[in-house]
């Protein structure tokens, strides 16, 4: 089964360690060892997280430098932002929607 | 294992059918049957998707109306937006970052 890009991005972000790795990379490139340091998990576990992030296109790893630094690739995050923006009016317009909802109920549209 | 709220939200969004359900609910409340109609999956599969969305706080289901309509709950999407906003400069500043990266390479900072 192929996974669409946006689903792969959301799945990659559904883990606090992976989000912390992205936050670290937002401050600059880092080696696997540097990324692993703050986490109470094995280097192997961190490598696995990096593979998930790399497959989702959220990080890249240098092929040239010997220490193979990881680097944030933010394009998929732009796609997440574009997707979630469509719903902005719903989390910002809480009260308006409640009124609208009550108005709909009063019209009795849902009695059918 | 407990999952943090943001991870639960991202995991719930990592599926095209669940995102399509949210898009449908953005146009108004809907019953499970109405939500299932456009999808080539069983009613049972849709119910499972709705449970994932409900656990993540992305939808609620009326306890009073007999047809138990599903309703979009957008607060977790606001959290997603707030999280992803922190990275905006990275996907918007593509060219600047490339220049910055090249400048860093030229300084030879990574040869150590």
A80 SS3 class = helix
Task: Output the pTM of the full model.
Answer: 0.82
Confidence of residue A2 (pLDDT cuts 50, 70, 90): low
Query: Could you tell me if B90 and B97 are in contact, meaning their C-beta atoms sit under 8 angstroms apart?
Result: yes
Rg (CA), chain B: 21
Per-residue model confidence as pLDDT tens digits over A53-90: 999 999 999 887 778 899 999 999 999 999 999 999 99
Q: Is residue A96 predicted with pLDDT exceeding 60?
A: no
pLDDT higher than threshold 50 for residue B50? yes
CA dihedral B18, B21, B23, B26 (to 10 degrees): -130
pLDDT of amino acid B68: 87
| CATH number of A70's domain | 1.10.10.10
User: Model confidence at B71, in pLDDT bands (50, 70, 90)?
Assistant: very high
Asked if the model's pLDDT at residue B96 lies above 80, the reply is: no
How close, in Å, is residue A54 to chain B by CA atoms? 16
The answer to whether the Cβ–Cβ distance between B84 and A80 falls below 8 Å is yes
Q: Which residue has the higher pLDDT, B104 or B8?
A: B8
Total domain count, chain B? 1
ipTM over 0.85: no
Asked whether the CA dihedral B15, B21, B24, B29 is positive or negative, the reply is: negative
Chain B, 84 to 103: residues with Cβ < 8 Å from chain A are 84-88, 90-92, 94
Q: Which residues of A touch B34 (CB under 8 A)?
A: none
Q: Per-residue pLDDT for A111 more than 60?
A: no
Mean pLDDT of chain A: 87
Which domain range does residue A68 map to? 3-111
Residue B1, pLDDT score: 46
Any CB–CB contact under 8 A between B109 and chain A? no
Is A42 an interface residue toward B (CB < 8 Å)? no
Residue A22 has pLDDT above 50, yes or no: yes
Residue B104 reports pLDDT greater than 70: no
Task: Give the pLDDT band (50/70/90) at residue B63.
Answer: confident
């Amino acid at each position: 089964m192929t996974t669409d890009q946006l689903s792969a991005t959301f799945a990659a972000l559904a883990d606090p360690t992976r989000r912390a790795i992205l936050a670290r990379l937002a401050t600059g490139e880092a080696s696997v060892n540097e990324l692993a340091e703050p986490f109470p998990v094995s280097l192997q576990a961190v490598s696995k997280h990096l593979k998930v992030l790399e497959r989702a296109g959220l990080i890249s790893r240098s092929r040239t430098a010997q220490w193979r630094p990881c680097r944030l690739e933010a394009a998929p995050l732009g796609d997440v932002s574009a997707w979630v923006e469509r719903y902005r009016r719903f989390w910002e317009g809480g009260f308006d929607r409640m009124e609208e909802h009550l108005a709909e109920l009063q019209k009795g549209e849902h009695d059918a």
